Amino acid sequence: MVFAGAEMLSGRRFLVTGVAGFIGSNLAEALLDLNCHIRGLDNFSTGTKQNLVGFDGHPNFEFVEGDIRDMATCLRACNGIEYVLHQAAWGSVPRSITMPLEYEEINIKGTLNMMEAARRSGVKKFVYASSSSVYGDDPHLPRVEGREGRTLSPYALTKRVNEEYGALYAQLYGLETYGLRYFNVFGKRQNPAGAYAAVIPKFISQLSKDESPVIFGDGTQSRDFTAIQNVVDANLRACVAPTAAAGGVFNVASGVSIPLIEVYESLCRLLGKEIAPVYESERLGDVKHSWADLSRSKEILGYQPQCNFHKGLEEYLGWFERRWRGELIR
């Protein structure tokens, strides 16, 4: 589902960084459905070749294997491109606490390389992934752009720095940048494996194997869980956003905050499981509650959540079950 007016992007030339990742691959799929020309960039540090199944051989899809820390690669990837959707980054708050230098190199230097390459290449719009983690310890709810607290992790800090560079590149160089603050995105192609997997796919994977998932804290912590369909919609809207909004940042969320224990109970019902979770201590860097104010995104981008939490969860479970059975799907 795309918004009215998205057809004006048809035939345009896009670069999607992190295209083999969860969000990047969903963006590529949506753009190909709009008949856009896509160049994807990835080094497979977190993305997988499986996420690109269905794109291989597509006449409008071109793949470049490379690292955003390499400026020559960034320049080559931006050559002839009109729009950049920059998703390449390392996620995970806990991992960033153990590996701050790597996050500096990938998330800050890599993003700066991409902005500079886009500027030199005459890119029209540079849309990049930011994060709700930039709100840090701000006690106010819902989260409103321009009211941020202290960052609580290296990951959050890298995203805050990205936003500052985005504003600066718009101001100094006229590069139209748009930062999208994602709130706990979930959906198809999200990897459930590994110690740093996002909570929903990890719960689904463990429950499917009759394992007891771990909940860090008491389960009352809440998040604004956001279906991937909404993130795709927001990225497309940013590509047609007014120039006057360049340099700005925008919340991308469902606008509803749900306690983690309710998410767990919903999954148990949908999967037909009766498994008690294991509770462990809260993790460093985690915020207690997250909930987005969408006023700015609605007013400037025309953003409106297309898929609510429960619909998104049911669709994700359907996709997960098909993949679990070994079906090759996009």
- Contact between 228 and 23 (Cβ < 8 Å): yes
**Residue 223: phi, psi to the nearest 5?**
-140, 150
Query: 63-77: b or e for each residue (b if 16 or more CB lie within 10 Å)?
Result: beebbbeebebbbeb
| CA–CA gap between residue 327 and residue 313 (Å, rounded) | 19
Q: Identify residue 194 by its one-letter amino acid code.
A: G
Q: What are the structure tokens assigned to 70, written together? A: 């390499």
Cβ neighbours for 279, distance < 8 A, ≥ 6 positions apart = 214, 215, 216, 217, 218, 219
Q: Which two tokens stand for residue 65?
A: 């294997």
105 three-class SS: helix
H-helix or E-strand containing 248? Answer: strand 248-252
Q: Is 126 helix (H, G, I), strand (E, B) or coil?
A: strand
Q: Which residues lie across from 251 on neighbouring strands?
A: 181
| CA 302/CA 130 separation, integer angstroms | 19
> How many residues in total does the chain contain?
330
155 noted as active-site residue:
yes
Q: Decide: 158 and 166 in contact? Cβ < 8 Å.
A: no
CB 141 within 8 A of CB 90: no
C-alpha R_g of the chain: 19
Rounded Cα distance, 253 and 262, in Å: 18
Q: Which of 83, 103, 135, 155 is catalytic?
A: 155
Residues labelled catalytic: 155
